[in-house]
Structure 1
Amino acid sequence: MTLEDPAGTPAESSGPSVVLAGGGTAGHISPLLAIARAVVDASPDARILAVGTASGMETRIVPEAGFELAVIDRVPLPRRPTMDLLRLPGRFVKAVRQSEAILDSAQADVLVGVGGYVCTPMYLAARRRGVPIVIHEANTRAGIANRVGAAFTQRVGKAFPATRLRHSRVVGMPMRREISGLDRAAARHDARVRLGLDPNATTLVVTGGSLGAASLNRTIASSLDAMAHAGIQTLHITGRGKTVNGPDGLELRAPGYRQVEYIDGMEEAYAAADLILCRSGAGTVCEVAAVGLPAVFVPLPIGNGEQALNARGLVDSGAAVMVRDADFTPEWLDATVLPLLGSPERLAEMSRRASEQGIRDADTQMAAMALAAAEGRIQEGTRA
């Protein structure tokens, strides 16, 4: 985690040491990496270290992105009284000590947390070590880790205005520059060609995320004749390992319909689409707003209602439509989605309203917040 010279002493670096904590899901990892890249853009000599757990997606995604990863023990809070609850204090103390060792070894000038299991012990360790803390909260309902961390800092960014979190201000969602810098109109033709679509046909993109969504897949499969009759072409992103089959048991095929499991680079799909039909995870909601893409949201019907809350701002502004998962039927699609796709004027107005809600520079705002905190620590001479 540290560079060493041949004598074994830590190498000196004039740049700030920025430690970023978060992981477990793409919803945490994606903004973490966007912030890391923005830090390097603003301060090329900055040293970056990401911290996660050994069981999270970050063990693959962070190194593939070119950043170093350290891990601490995963210490989830048991949901029921079990022996794990009795072991929790000892496990948590161990995780805090691991976090302190990481901060010390990295000579951290700032800790940036984006939420998840790893963040609570990292926040407590930073507090004990006097390392400034910067937080980004992606969801409308703040997670427990960031609620704890927000008690230790006034540098808190959030993606949604409705999020209640101490000391927070709206910065938007840090996202990849390929998305935040997308010009949909300019990229549309080439994106459709690359995706095997008719460049001139009205296009619906359907995605349930990387894991897919069975309810979306079923309704789309039952609606292909109606969409083809309406002159709509559909790009259906079914999810990794998922195939939607027709009555013959073979992969579903129909005029104007293209099925893929996933796309490397959702900016291609965003550029190709006149309308997207999707779940309403925080990242997706913020990305479609940033690129000005009209949306139909079908929130995930489990959990604490977070996805419906994420989409509420765009829906209330007229930039999107929302429907409950149980109500997303072929009849609803025929009555609501097809008329929408048949109205270029309404789609253009939805696009305009989405763009008004979108924020494209969250990554640079968060990087500036982190570098300012690091600079303050360096000037105080409190670097380890």
Structure 2
Amino acid sequence: MQAAESGRGRSIVVAGGGTAGHVEPALAVADAIRRLDPEARITALGTRRGLETTLVPARGYDLELIPPVPVPRKPTADLVKLPWRVAAAVRDTRRVLDRVGADAVVGFGGYVAAPAYLACALARPGRRIPFAVHEANARAGMANKLGVRLGGAALAAVAGSGIDAEVVGIPVRAALADLDRPARRAEARAFFGLPAEGPVLLATGGSQGARSINEAVAGAAADLAAAGIAVLHAHGRGNRVTVPEGLEAPYVAVPYIDRMDLAYSAADLVICRSGAMTVAEVSATGLPAVYVPLPHGNGEQALNATGVVEAGGGLLLADASLTRASVADTIIPLLRDPGRLAAMGAAAAAAGSRDAAETIARRVLALAG
């Protein structure tokens, strides 16, 4: 039953399961939809293997699970089974859409997006559901290219992604889009046990891409401490870092940071990967960055950071060049130059997008009618 028939608020489904790069934009848009239309009913679509199983319930949204449909990169037995797996996922997705009375769907790529697009587009006349496709990366993925071909309203973070789309930026949760870092600085540093004064470096590489960042930053711990630089280092669950004892400045190493708003507020500079969501969050908060793109994939991580770097809001450091010496040689001069940091922060904020979530939410609500 459609919302117009039931008299209840519009029903919107967000499909962004898998990694944080898919889940966080979906939740940022869900939050914006809720702000714009408090009567809207929002359902997240995901799989059992993704981060959505913890992130979605924590944000207060209903989660519906479907089978994941990864596409094998090489000819294998799994490739032969793919059509049946797709058909099963589309069938289950359609059942979810019918059960929640979906008025519109918005997908963000990943394992659940393609079944969602197919379920919307290939339904019988009269049961088709309008949908939008958001591409966060500088190079569009297979699922989102499919969604656009199937007739989804195309939205993208940047121009030239490989799909003909309206450029809207990347949706960032309000806690970061509206973050006043200087105002939260004292609270944030106390929260992590960092000194109230002096430069602080934030280091993070996620769980999968953390190894080389962990080794280089922890390896430079003594150099950073000798320069009076404190470090907040999220090394990833399942990873460990070895830090020398008796350092001249605090080195706080943790597996994971739940309060990224406070981590960004505590820091004067971040060294991190350049996944699309990371670049969006860092630039939206106006935090200067040293981006270290992952060395594998199709090169999209370097492209993700290109706009911010060209604007002057960050630097690129190749993973192959990431060593104790390169970290010390890059980080220490930056953190000793407050004027340059201020200019980089302003450039990052200007290059970032703070209103993408609301823009996308308005587009999706318009599709829902």
Which TM-score band (shorter chain)?
over 0.9
**Cα distance, 1:237–1:55 mapped onto 2, change above 3 Å:** closer
Counterpart for residue 294 of structure 1: 288
Which amino acid is 2:149 matched to? A
1:89 paired to 2:83: yes
1:226 paired to 2:223: yes
Query: Which of 126, 132, 140 is matched with 2:138 structurally?
Result: 140
Counterpart for residue 99 of structure 1: 93
1:35-50 residue pairs with structure 2 within 5 A? Answer: 35-50=29-44
1:236 paired to 2:229: no
Query: Which of 50, 58, 79 is matched with 1:64 structurally?
Result: 58
Residues 46-91 of structure 1: CA distance to partner in whole angstroms, max 9, x if unpaired?
Answer: 1111111232222232222221111222222222222222222222
Counterpart for residue 180 of structure 1: 177
Identity %: 47
Query: Which of 98, 106, 113 is matched with 1:112 structurally?
Result: 106
State the secondary structure of the residue aligned to 1:136. Answer: strand
Which amino acid is 2:240 matched to? T
Residues 189-212 of structure 1: CA distance to partner in whole angstroms, max 9, x if unpaired?
Answer: 221122111111111111112456
Which amino acid is 1:119 matched to? A
Q: CA deviation at 1:243?
A: 2.6
Alpha-carbon distance in 2 for matches of 1:189, 1:371: 39
1:200 paired to 2:193: no
1:342-381 residue pairs with structure 2 within 5 A? Answer: 342-375=336-369
1:169 paired to 2:161: no
| Conserved? CA contact 1:212–1:237, under 8 Å | no
**Cα distance, 1:330–1:314 mapped onto 2, change above 3 Å:** same
Residues 76-115 of structure 1: CA distance to partner in whole angstroms, max 9, x if unpaired?
Answer: 2222222222222222222222222222222111011111
Q: CA deviation at 1:253?
A: 5.6
1:200-279 residue pairs with structure 2 within 5 A? Answer: 200-211=197-208, 213-246=210-243, 254-256=247-249, 257-279=251-273
Q: TM-score, normalised by structure 1?
A: 0.89
Alpha-carbon distance in 2 for matches of 1:221, 1:121: 42
**Cα distance, 1:223–1:296 mapped onto 2, change above 3 Å:** same
Counterpart for residue 277 of structure 2: 283
Alpha-carbon distance in 2 for matches of 1:91, 1:211: 27
| Conserved? CA contact 1:133–1:152, under 8 Å | no
Alpha-carbon distance in 1 for matches of 2:311, 2:172: 22
Alpha-carbon distance in 2 for matches of 1:91, 1:262: 34
| Conserved? CA contact 1:159–1:173, under 8 Å | yes
Counterpart for residue 147 of structure 2: 149
Counterpart for residue 5 of structure 1: none
Can you give the 5+ residue segments of structure 1 that lack an aligned partner in the other structure?
Answer: 3-10, 376-384
Aligned residue pairs total 362
Q: CA deviation at 1:302?
A: 1.8
Which amino acid is 1:98 matched to? D
1:297-336 residue pairs with structure 2 within 5 A? Answer: 297-336=291-330
Which amino acid is 1:62 matched to? V
1:341 paired to 2:335: yes
State the secondary structure of the residue aligned to 1:150. Answer: helix
Q: CA deviation at 1:275?
A: 0.7
Alpha-carbon distance in 1 for matches of 2:361, 2:42: 12
Q: CA deviation at 1:14?
A: 2.6
Rg larger for: 1
| Conserved? CA contact 1:211–1:240, under 8 Å | no
**Cα distance, 1:324–1:21 mapped onto 2, change above 3 Å:** same
Q: TM-score, normalised by structure 2?
A: 0.93
| Conserved? CA contact 2:28–2:172, under 8 Å | yes
State the secondary structure of the residue aligned to 2:44. Answer: strand
Counterpart for residue 382 of structure 1: none
1:52 paired to 2:50: no
| Conserved? CA contact 1:212–1:242, under 8 Å | no
Alpha-carbon distance in 1 for matches of 2:66, 2:327: 46
Runs of 4+ in structure 1 deviating by more than 4 angstroms, as ranges, are none
State the secondary structure of the residue aligned to 2:6. Answer: coil
Instruction: Quote the RMSD (CA, aligned, Å).
Output: 1.9
Can you give the 5+ residue segments of structure 2 that lack an aligned partner in the other structure?
Answer: none
| Conserved? CA contact 2:228–2:248, under 8 Å | no
| Conserved? CA contact 2:148–2:163, under 8 Å | yes
